[in-house]
Amino acid sequence: MTCHDILACDVTDDNHEMANLQAIQKLAKQALDTFRSVNGDKNVFLDKLSSLRASMNRIRAADLGIDDAVAAGRDHQPWSAPVGYMFVAENPLVSMGVFVVQRGCRLPLHDHRSMHGVIKVLTGTVRMRSYDLLTEEQRETIKLPDLSGFSASSAGSTDPHDLDSAVQQLARTLHPVRPRAELELTPDSEPCVLGPLEGNVHSIESVGGPAAFLDILSPPYDPEVGRDCVYYKETKFTDSEESVGDVRWLRRIPQPASFWCSQEDYLGPPVDLDSL
């Protein structure tokens, strides 16, 4: 057998393997290949990311075992989680899961530190508000807003020292960002892509009923290495604050008490990232 024959056999085996994979398994394999290249040639990575986005656009709810009952969701009750999460797969490079956002609920503003992500709506309609983070160089050119309107009552004390400390603490929680156009997304919409800066902070809410979307992140959240999920609130100060272009200010906040996730059963084809 010649080297050419051996290579031909390898290609045939790869094609046969791909042919036997389910759609979500093929997508997982492609996601691994894409994000393994993230630190290599930028153009190669962007081409692979574009191909991954195109493949993800063909994914449907049925490919993940999501039937009409799941898609219909349930009326949100005060004691029930506003968002459900179906764990699909995760390894140190990639996480895959499905969020089910109940009627009238949302994922609050949150970030994805040093991550890339791709989101595809599977059922229903969602509204997404996104913000771009600024580079260190851009941040250095932005002045803090005027915090003089931050009153003593807001600080919880009339002591000037306490007020000054509260203002300083507030300043440390502020992050300048640039807003993106608000989007309404349905299963007919192309997947959205976020990067370490681009669209990195977003909120996602259901519109007119429950909704579900597939979420691929690389690398996954990991608080032990500084990739925790941080929540934010857009903050406005005095009318006289100095504006620089279209910069907005987000204030870091604790996880809102009104938001938590329940674990939902994933009934689609099994995805073993370590074997792909």
C-alpha–C-alpha distance, residues 217 and 116, integer Å: 6
**Residue 134 confidence (pLDDT):** 95
Following DSSP, what letter does each residue of 81-143 receive, concatenated? -SEEEEEEEE-SS-EEEEEEEPTT-EEEEE--TT-EEEEEEEES-EEEEEEEEPPHHHHHTPP
Domains, in order of start, for the chain: 3-270 (2.60.120.10)
For 7-42, write each residue's pLDDT tens digit. 455 544 555 456 679 999 999 999 999 999 999 999
Q: Is the dihedral of CA 146, 151, 156, 158 positive or negative?
A: positive
The least confident of 42-51, 162-171, 186-195, 267-276 is: 162-171
Residue type for position 153: S
Enter the DSSP assignment of 219. S
Instruction: Answer whether 189's CB lies under 8 Å from 104's CB.
Output: no
3-state secondary structure of 267: coil
Instruction: Answer whether 79's CB lies under 8 Å from 98's CB.
Output: no
For 76-127, write each residue's pLDDT tens digit. 566 689 999 999 999 999 999 999 999 999 999 999 999 999 999 999 999 9
**Residue 241 confidence (pLDDT):** 47
Looking at residues 129-139, what average pLDDT do you find? 94
Structure tokens at 174: 């502020």
pTM of the model: 0.85
Distances in Å between the Cα of 127 and the Cα atoms of 71, 205, 206, 246 are 17, 5, 6, 21
Task: Strand 116-123: give its sheet, edge to edge.
Answer: 192-194, 116-123, 211-218, 95-101, 83-90, 261-264
Distances in Å between the Cα of 168 and the Cα atoms of 1, 180, 212 are 73, 29, 40
